[in-house]
Amino acid sequence: IADAKALADLLINDQADEALLQRVGAMIKRFHHAGLDHVDLNARNILVDDAGKPWLIDLDRCRLRTAGKWQMDNLARLERSFGKFMSKPHAVEVMDSILQGYHN
pTM of the model: 0.96
Q: For residue 94, count other CB atoms closer than 10 A to its CB.
A: 21
- Please give the DSSP secondary-structure letter assigned to residue 56: E
Please write the tens of the pLDDT for every residue from 31-79: 999 999 999 999 999 999 999 999 999 999 999 999 999 999 999 999 9
Write out the CATH class of domain 5-103.
mainly alpha
Can you tell me whether residue 48 is helix, strand or coil? strand
* From 9, 17, 40, 49, active-site residue: 40
Is residue 40 part of the annotated active site? The answer reads yes
- The pLDDT confidence band at residue 94, using thresholds 50, 70 and 90, is very high
Amino acid at 44: R
